[in-house]
């Protein structure tokens, strides 16, 4: 009987701009069955909020957009903006108090009238590019929001991920792979959307694939269309990481660049698990164990 393949998330094996060590450690955790101890990055932050809005407006509430478009005679972009505003108030501010801090973990309060307004405008612009108009009717070009993908790296490893938006172009001759971002642009963002695009190309080998990055809070450059190389560069890079880790039997065999003790100052704590991986009896405290259990429950409820 064959063992179940090890499932690795694309975002786990993307090299950070500040840390090249994380992807190797992530694969090691998976191989050693210690992923349950890894710190969770899940939180209802600004990015999660806008992703929920995007999913809501296309999955269950497209009729609200159609109402504003047909009855209020708004433009497509204005119809989406009005719908996004209504959904925000209906689901996230039901008591009418527009205190952005109550649902989003941030270092300081974000007022409704500035950042939220600005980002909803940007989101409406993105949404308007995902529909077509015909005889005064709107038709969605979206194939899927939070679209699940899988790719078999080998018999032992399966690469998984969720694409923010997968959509047809208006002429149906190309597929858009879109990632929505709220922070500053980074190499990690580019690698993520290119990896997803390479996986989608496997499913649509005869159709053009267009990787896109949308930055809501970047006024200068909201939309970035990337060139997708003919060869699967990112998938080969990830396969190489997995291959290197599979051969590792001790800490000394890890690549030199990920063994630098003071390489990064981030708070992800992934490096702390090297000792656990190689059997040096590192134990977590009772309090940490309770935290991890709570995180697991949250992840299962997603």
The predicted-structure confidence for 158-198, as pLDDT tens digits, reads as follows: 999 999 999 999 999 999 999 998 877 888 899 999 999 99
pLDDT band at 47 (very low <50, low <70, confident <90, very high): confident
Q: Contact, 138 vs 74, CB < 8 A?
A: no
Q: How far apart are CA 190 and CA 213, in angstroms?
A: 8
Average pLDDT, the chain: 77
Select the more confidently predicted residue: 208 or 13. Answer: 208
Question: What was the pLDDT predicted at 66?
Answer: 95
Assess whether pLDDT exceeds 70 at residue 302: no
- 3-state SS, residue 206: coil
Question: What was the pLDDT predicted at 214?
Answer: 92
Assess whether pLDDT exceeds 90 at residue 235: yes
Question: What was the pLDDT predicted at 100?
Answer: 45
**209 bridge partner residues:** 175
Q: What phi and psi values does residue 143 have, to the nearest 5 degrees?
A: -80, -40
pLDDT band at 280 (very low <50, low <70, confident <90, very high): very low
Q: Contact, 54 vs 164, CB < 8 A?
A: yes
Sequence-separated (6 or more) residues with CB below 8 Å from residue 75:
128
What percent of the chain has pLDDT above 70?
65
Q: How far apart are CA 285 and CA 301, in angstroms?
A: 25
Domains of the chain, earliest start first:
1-40+141-302 (3.90.320), 46-139 (no CATH)
Assess whether pLDDT exceeds 80 at residue 226: yes
Residue from 191, 197, 230, 232 nearest 211 by CA:
197
Query: Which regions of 182-257 does DSSP assign to beta strands (E)?
Result: 208-215, 223-225
Question: What was the pLDDT predicted at 275?
Answer: 54
């Amino acid at each position: 009987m064959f063992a179940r393949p090890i499932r690795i998330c694309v975002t786990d094996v993307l090299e950070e701009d500040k840390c090249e060590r994380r992807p190797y450690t992530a694969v090691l955790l998976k191989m050693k069955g210690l992923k349950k101890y890894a710190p969770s990055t899940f939180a209802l932050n600004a990015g999660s909020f806008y992703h929920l809005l995007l999913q809501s407006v296309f999955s269950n509430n497209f009729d609200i957009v159609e109402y504003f478009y047909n009855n209020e005679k708004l433009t497509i972009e204005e119809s989406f903006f009005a719908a996004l505003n209504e959904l925000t108030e209906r689901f996230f501010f039901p008591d009418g108090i527009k205190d952005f801090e109550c649902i989003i973990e941030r270092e300081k309060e974000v007022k409704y009238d500035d950042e939220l307004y600005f980002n909803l405008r940007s989101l409406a612009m993105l949404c308007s590019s995902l529909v077509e108009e015909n005889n005064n009717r709107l038709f969605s070009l979206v194939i899927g929001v939070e679209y699940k993908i899988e790719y078999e790296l080998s018999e032992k490893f399966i690469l998984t991920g969720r694409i923010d938006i997968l959509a047809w172009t208006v002429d149906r001759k190309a597929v858009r792979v879109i990632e929505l971002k709220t922070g500053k642009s980074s190499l990690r963002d580019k690698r993520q959307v290119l990896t997803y695009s390479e996986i989608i190309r496997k499913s649509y080998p005869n159709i053009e694939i267009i990787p896109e990055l949308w930055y809501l809070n970047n006024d200068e450059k909201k939309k970035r269309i990337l060139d997708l190389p003919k060869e699967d560069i990112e998938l080969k890079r990830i396969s190489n990481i997995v291959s290197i880790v599979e051969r590792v039997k001790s800490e000394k065999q890890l690549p030199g660049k990920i063994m630098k003790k003071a390489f990064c100052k981030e708070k992800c704590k992934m490096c702390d698990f090297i000792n656990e991986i190689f059997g040096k009896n590192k134990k977590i405290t009772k309090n940490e164990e309770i935290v991890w259990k709570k995180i697991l429950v949250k992840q299962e409820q997603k």
